[in-house]
Structure 1
Amino acid sequence: MKTFGEGKDLNYVIEVDSLPEIKLGSLENFKVTNYMVTADAKIVDEKLKEIANQHKNFIDKKDSEKAEIGDQITFDYSAKVNENKFKGSEGKGVQIELGKDLFLKDFDKQLIGKKKNDIALTESHLPPNHPDKELANKKAKFECKILSVKKPGQTKIDDNLAKNLGAKSLIDLKKLIENQISSQYKQALDSITKKEILDQLEKSHSIDLPKNLVDHELSAMTQSLKKDEIEKNKIKNEKLAKSRIKLGLILNEFGEKNNLKVGQDEINNEIQKQIRGMPGQEKMVLEYYKKNPHAAQSLKGALYEEKIINLLKSKITMKTKNLSTNEAEKIINDLNKPKESLATKAKSKKISKK
């Protein structure tokens, strides 16, 4: 504000930081690897056995045979807290596998040695997250009528198992498992490919970054850190903040130049994909995005970035590298290993000369 007042013209100066002009460089000399993974037959077979063990075929024990760890027990129960019934204190046809402790803590071991038609009296504490807070962690007495005791039979790995799991045949199930394993490794390797692209984008573009953007990014990155931590990693964090801003500007320019957009349908599809991966928690996921608009906005940003990366991949000559799962594992592990600092390397060399 320069001058103001009665009878005077308002004279002021406004300073505005504008985004720098981005001149997109050529992608012609980019060297990027596209990793393809073939799951080893041994790993597929191990996964198949693991799945078979999770879908045990239980067969009835004789009425005189006692229940053991690993057996499946079906029972009705009636429970009381301080000799009083409560909501949910009765259950019919409850089925548990002894040893997994999925019903209540320390409940399973009290049914070991029981037989079909036995009445078992047990005591267990109700869970701390019980819907009725008055009952949380309270000791309850259970009267259980044992309806059946079954032991695990051998699960045959055949077409019937495959069909029970939704596959057309055992060959089809193996193919589905192979694709799933390959996809998991590919996802991790794609992050390496993405890093290769981003590193070369950053090196091949020179941009005069607005200070306020860098400061804002730096503030967001360090807001949860203590003052001494901020000071200790000041140079490292400033470099990272500048890198993020620079890459964000470059990627956004690619997106705008190619008219890339993310529609609401795409956001909804991604949310549905997350819901399918969390069975039984559909309502929770939907409520989360409904109550947190910033979460949906963050999801939109991730989808937008993915579109831009896919566009860049389509314009870059990529070298395909076929890997076994063991080779893929090694590449991923090597990438995740903590890198030695220059000081540590220098110290190691000095020691080795002595």
Structure 2
Amino acid sequence: MQVTETLNAGLKREIQVVVPAQDMEARLLERLNDARGKVRINGFRPGKVPMQHLRKMYGKSMMAEVVNDILSKSTSSILSDRGEKAAMQPEVKMTEDEKEAEKILAGQADFEFSIAYEVIPAIEIQDVSGISITREVYDVPEAEIDEQAMRIAESARTFTAKDGAAESGDRVTMDYVGKVDGEAFEGGTDTGANLVLGSGQFIPGFEDQLVGVKAGDGKTIEVTFPAEYQAAHLAGKAATFDVKVTEVAKAEPIELNDDLAKNLGLESVERLREIIKGQLENQFGSVTRQKVKRQLLDALDAAYTFEAPARLVTAEFNNIWLQVTRDLEQAGKSFADEDTTEEDARAEYQRLAERRVRLGLVLAEIGDKAGVQVSDEEMQRALFEFVRRYPGQEQEVYDFYRKNPGALAELRAPIFEEKVVDHLLGQISVTDKKVSKEELMADDEAEKSETAEAAPEKEKAPKKKAAPKKKAAKAEDAETAE
């Protein structure tokens, strides 16, 4: 096998491979000899089939197997010999001329093909001990725990039918039909619907017009859908709702006590508070973690400025762009509605894709050098958590992931990345800062749009806070260099 480098420009490589016809012939004869003692052909005793007859019957198919074997094994061996890692699956090209192909399969011509790929750039791991970040911490006060407990208690509140007019806080049970331009619209009809006045569950203005109604009343309510309403065909439209009130009920008072907790299936109100406190701490802790991670990624992004493999960047950009355009289409909006242009958005997301790929490679290299591993137990736990999202299809989803290494890699990637982040956090300076909930939850547009994490999250388009949402980098990002 003759291997010749024909292109070495930046990260791009092209290799020309020539397997002489005599080598192809030798490989074919080896296969034919192996098959000679196994095949059963009428008129010949086992092992006595003439080689020429065997070649006539199976020569082309076995030579095709030789070709496939060379292609499957040579790429990895060539890269290994060169000490290179391909950023993506190398592109293999061979002759498309039928006559040339026939000669190769007949053992009458050299087998020539080329391999084109981009290499993972050499990444020199840098000292991170000089990185300093601030960890914003919000301590959940008892008052907020009680406030959340009261919200939960609302779900267990009881109502008693009354004869009088509906007031704020009362529950109105009704049938209604919504219309736009006199025509009923999809999703605008319901029967036996319950609405607590003042809860803000319906379109602005709807609940206000129900104040004063009584059981048995009929009423036509006039509203206008918000301009940002999720159903684009209704956004900004004037509508009427023909309402028939079937019941008005008064809310019974609620009190945080053990009886309430027992109605919720818990042994005491203190246990209820413990659960709520844990949930709130996890919620705010997750935000803290994301902000810490973004600061770390920003520092790494500033420290590593190597060229990212173009094919990886293109693949990542395409993933982002597909989600952005899909979200715009579903919202019935254009780039102009988001105070940007398609050209500017493309440029912004291209920069984001480059950042993600670069950081993915950096994290993979750091994790590899640090010996970060994802255990079988962690993978099993992640798979079970994922499968639980598909009730009724658990076994089907489980089998799919167990049989598809690529799909399993998508589950492994965010675990691996978080472990690498933990490794790095143990090496840098982290200063805790007590903040208010408002400070912790403040929406930092730069953080949202610049992050390059492997774990899926929602992000926003550039230039405007009400921009379309899109998925963050695919889980493969952190795996690219492995």
**Corresponding residue of 1:270:** 382
**Corresponding residue of 1:311:** 423
Alpha-carbon separation, structure 2, partners of 1:238 and 1:152: 54
State the identity as a percent.
22
Structure 1 alignment gaps of length 5 or more: 71-96, 115-149, 342-354
Alpha-carbon separation, structure 2, partners of 1:69 and 1:13: 79
Which SS does the other structure have where 2:147 is aligned? helix
Alpha-carbon separation, structure 2, partners of 1:2 and 1:50: 70
Would you say how many aligned residue pairs link Structure 1 and Structure 2? 269
Which SS does the other structure have where 2:128 is aligned? coil
Aligned residues of 1:40 and 1:325 also touching (Cα < 8 A): no
Aligned residues of 1:289 and 1:296 also touching (Cα < 8 A): no
**Corresponding residue of 2:147:** 46
Structure 2 alignment gaps of length 5 or more: 1-15, 21-99, 176-188, 195-213, 217-248, 327-334, 336-340, 449-459, 465-482
**Corresponding residue of 1:192:** 291
User: 1:171-222 deviations in whole A, cap 9, x for unaligned?
Assistant: 3422332232232122123211111111111111242333333334334444
Which stretch shows the higher mean deviation, 233-242 or 47-56?
233-242
**Which of 324, 329, 332 is the aligned partner of 2:436?**
324
Alpha-carbon separation, structure 1, partners of 2:425 and 2:172: 52
User: 1:197-251 deviations in whole A, cap 9, x for unaligned?
Assistant: 111111112423333333343344445759x976544433332222111111111
Shift in CA distance, 157/16, structure 1 to aligned 2, threshold 3 Å = closer
Which SS does the other structure have where 1:315 is aligned? coil
**Corresponding residue of 2:44:** none
Which stretch shows the higher mean deviation, 38-47 or 310-319?
38-47
User: 1:287-314 deviations in whole A, cap 9, x for unaligned?
Assistant: 5555575665422222221221122112
Decide which structure has the larger Cα Rg and report it: 2
Which TM-score applies when normalising by structure 2? Answer: 0.45
Which one-letter code corresponds to 2:311 in the other structure?
A: N
Alpha-carbon separation, structure 2, partners of 1:177 and 1:10: 68
Alpha-carbon separation, structure 2, partners of 1:9 and 1:211: 33
1:105 matches 2:194 = no
The two structures, once aligned, show a CA RMSD in angstroms of: 4.3
Deviation at 1:152, TM superposition (A): 5.5
Which one-letter code corresponds to 2:142 in the other structure?
A: A
Aligned residues of 2:136 and 2:433 also touching (Cα < 8 A): yes
Shift in CA distance, 13/324, structure 1 to aligned 2, threshold 3 Å = closer
**Which of 230, 241, 250 is the aligned partner of 2:362?**
250
Deviation at 1:108, TM superposition (A): 5.7
Deviation at 1:54, TM superposition (A): 0.8
Alpha-carbon separation, structure 1, partners of 2:280 and 2:358: 35
**Corresponding residue of 1:299:** 411
Highest RCO, 1 vs 2 (Cα 8 Å, sep ≥ 6):
1
1:29 matches 2:138 = no
Alpha-carbon separation, structure 2, partners of 1:333 and 1:12: 49
Alpha-carbon separation, structure 1, partners of 2:414 and 2:423: 14
Which TM-score applies when normalising by structure 1? Answer: 0.59
Aligned residues of 1:261 and 1:304 also touching (Cα < 8 A): yes
Alpha-carbon separation, structure 1, partners of 2:277 and 2:312: 45
Alpha-carbon separation, structure 2, partners of 1:219 and 1:42: 46
Aligned residues of 2:294 and 2:447 also touching (Cα < 8 A): no
1:13-162 to 2 correspondences below 5 Å: 14-57=115-158, 99=173, 105-107=190-192, 153-162=252-261
Which one-letter code corresponds to 1:195 in the other structure?
A: R
